Structures are given as structure tokens and as C-alpha cells.
Amino acid sequence: MEWLLYIGIFALGVTAGYGLHIYRNRDSRIRELETHLTSIQGKYETYQQAVTEHFSHSAQLVNNLTNSYREVHEHLQKGANDLCADNKRHSAQNPAQSFLSLEASKDAFPQPATLKDDKFLAPIEPPRDYAPKSPSDKGMLDEDYGLSK
């Protein structure tokens, strides 16, 4: 009967060890997931910061480009006014008058062609799924088509 007591104590020890093992694994899994979540949050915040810096720098570069374009345009306009201004040329022939003002309305600039313009679509013909024929020719659905008389 003593061996039954030893088997019971052994079973109780195995059960306690298994329970402790499960408890520790669950706790370590939670710590592992918390660590993983923290690293993902850090990567996400770094990514957000990088995106913000990228678009801030892009906006600054576009603004610099716009200002440079404005300066070049004003320089060319001033040069044309200074170098081409003479009384012998009429105002329409004077190259100084060909520069548009930067404050000009959008209607002053040429507009791109659209697909709704008939002058561009007139020569275009849709593809056909049949061969063209004259009205006197017999078609494939005619009763006498392909029969020799």
C-alpha cells in the first residue's frame, strides 16, 4: 500500500510541474507579444516621422522650384523689355510683348485637346468586325451565297 502513496505523490508532483510550466509559458508568451507590439509601434512611429519629413522636404523643394521659375520668368520678361523695346517695332511684333504675366488668368494659356473635340475624332473610324462590301454583293446570310448556278 505504500507504493500507492508514492504513485500519488509522483502524480501530484508531475501535475504541479506541468501546471507551473504552462503558467510560465503563458507569462513568457505575453511578455514576448508585448515586446513585439512595442517594436511594431516604434517602427510605425519611425515610418510616420519619415513620411512627414519626406513630404515636408518635397513641399519645400516645390516651393523653391516655383520661386526659381518666377525669378527666371521675371528676368526674361525684364530682359525682353529692356533689350527689345524700340519704337520701330509695332507692339504685336515686339518680342517683349509675347511674355504672359504670371498673374494672367488660366484662359490666356493654351488648353490641351480633349477627346470631345470633333476635329480630332473626325478622321478616326471604329474598327470593323466584317469586311466592307458594295451594296450589290451578296452577303454570307444570303440564300444563294456560295452556291454556283
91-148 pLDDT tens trace: 666 666 666 666 655 555 555 556 566 666 666 677 777 777 777 777 777 777 767 6
Interval 55-104: pLDDT, tens: 999 999 999 999 999 899 889 888 887 787 666 655 666 666 666 666 65
pLDDT at position 77: 82
Spacing of C-alpha 61 from chain mean position: 19
pLDDT at position 107: 58
* CA atoms of 74 and 94, how far apart (whole Å): 17
* CA atoms of 45 and 53, how far apart (whole Å): 12
Q: Which helix (H) or strand (E) holds 19?
A: helix 2-84
Backbone angles phi, psi at 148, to 5 degrees: -85, 145
* CA atoms of 139 and 146, how far apart (whole Å): 10
For 118, the 3-state DSSP assignment is helix
* CA atoms of 106 and 109, how far apart (whole Å): 6
Residue 16 C-alpha cell reads as 504541479
pLDDT at position 64: 93
pLDDT at position 41: 96
